Amino acid sequence: MITTAPCIAVSGLHRGENPQPGAGIIRSLRRRFPDAHIVGLSYDVMESGIYADGGPDEVHLMPYPAAGGAAHLDRIDAIRKQTKRTPFDLFIPTLDAEIEVLASLHRELNQRGIRVCLPTVDVLKRRAKQHLPALAAACDVRVPETRLASDVTGACRAGSELGYPLVVKGPYYDAKIVPNVAQLSSAAGHLLSEWGHPVILQRRVSGSEFNVLGLGDGDGGWLGHCCIRKTQLSDKGKGLSGITVADARLSKLCARLVRELKWPGPFEIELIREESTGDYVLIEINPRFPAWIDFPSMLGANFPGRLIDVLRSAASPHPLPDCPPGSFYIRHQIEVVGDLNRYADLLKGEPGALPGLLDEPASPKTKSLA
């Protein structure tokens, strides 16, 4: 086991409405590695975790994932030359869109000595929203009745087949509950323009929402998992609070999915327990830690810390302890203060610079990347 303080890059620093996972990951890493040097990778200067106490030691801007793999690698090379300490050799990406890009760059990252735990392109594709029914069938797991559409006309046709209300989703992000064809038309048009095709339409399932985070070992098992039931939702359906649960049926269902995919590294599985049947219905599998990742760390199950242990050591890591049922978290927001004079430094790419506040609002795409 390496004993020197690690230098770790973490992305997804936004902590406001619909927070990204990076801030929670950093808090967990500080618990396990208090001397770690954390390099924040930001896609927008208004990611609020840049300014918060206990945040990254330095921050650098990244190109949007749409710029592609070559642009990402070029920027990573430049940042590693600028970092205050030894160039980071550990990386925890947190945003679905960047993971799509990085999954095709295993060889290039290894050549640079950067250790990161990512699924292959094929594994990532199998858990994508549009391919989820096939994966669920292979694992004997229920999913909502699903249709795909590449345009608004096709979406409206699928809506008439599924019936209302239904859920319409973009291929990467965003989901809306629509009660009629007029709202479906508007929502589908927005999602197609924002995220591209296909849009995914699903029959709505009513019931309590559950999330399961975990750390796959890449061989079909896991190093630990934590199950919660969401107890409060925002108006956009995001969890504002949750409580840990112990349900062997839920854990076994998720274990089948992880075994089928031989999932390596962080994941979050979203499910609904249907009111009428009591069945768990699979909604999504996210290839990353969730925003509430620091919650189990406070209960003694430090998933980001264990991920770094895995990346730094060839030895078989010990499994994480179970989270006791009945513990709960509540999302809590505070204001943070930035320095406008630092904004220009960050845009110039000066090493270690932190930005201040912009006059313009943050990009909606950046806010919804996670």
Same domain, 238 and 249: yes
Residue 165 lies in a domain: yes
**Is the pLDDT at 309 greater than 70, yes or no?**
yes
- Residue 2 belongs to a domain: no
Question: Which pLDDT score is estimated for 347?
Answer: 67
pLDDT at position 34 over 80: yes
pLDDT of amino acid 82: 84
Instruction: Looking at the structure, tell me whether residues 214 and 326 fall in a common domain.
Output: yes
Tokens standing for 40? 């924040």
pLDDT at 245: 97
- The answer to whether 52 and 23 are in contact (CB under 8 A) is yes
Of 203, 232, 253, which closes a domain? 203
CATH code for the domain of 258: 3.30.470.20
Based on the fold, state whether residues 48 and 80 are members of the same structural domain: yes
362 secondary structure, DSSP code: P
- Domain holding 35, by residue range, is 7-116+337-367
Question: Mean pLDDT for the chain?
Answer: 88
Is 1 a member of any domain? no
Amino acid at 206: S
- Across the range 133-150, mean pLDDT stands at 94
Query: Is there a contact between 216 and 224 (Cβ–Cβ < 8 Å)?
Result: no
Q: In this predicted structure, which of 149-153, 233-237, 288-292 has the lowest mean pLDDT? A: 233-237
d(CA 224, CA 263) in angstroms, rounded, equals 13
**Is 241 inside a domain boundary?**
yes
Mean pLDDT of 220-245: 90
CATH of the domain at 155: 3.30.1490.20
Mean pLDDT, residues 97-119 taken together: 95
111 and 31 assigned to the same domain: yes
Q: How many domains does the chain have?
A: 3
Top-confidence range, 53-57, 251-255, 343-347, 360-364:
251-255
Question: Coil, helix or strand for 22?
Answer: helix
What is the number of residues in the chain? 370
pTM of the model: 0.89
Residue 299 carries which side chain, given as an amino acid letter?
A: L
pLDDT mean over 321-337: 89
Check whether residue 168 and residue 88 sit in a common domain: no
Q: Please give the full DSSP string across 121-184, using - where no structure is assigned.
A: HHHHHHTSGGGHHHHHHHHT-B---EEEESSHHHHHHHHHHH-SSEEEE-SSS-EEEESSHHHH
The angle subtended at Cα 93 by Cα 135 and Cα 266, nearest 5°, is 45
Cα–Cα dist 39/60, whole Å: 8
Q: Is residue 350 part of a domain?
A: yes
Mean pLDDT, rounded, for 225-246? 88
Residue 134 lies in a domain: no
**Claim to verify: residue 218 and residue 301 sit in the same structural domain:** yes
Quick one: what percent of the chain has pLDDT higher than 90? 70
Region 91-95: mean pLDDT is 96
Q: Are residues 23 and 52 in the same domain?
A: yes
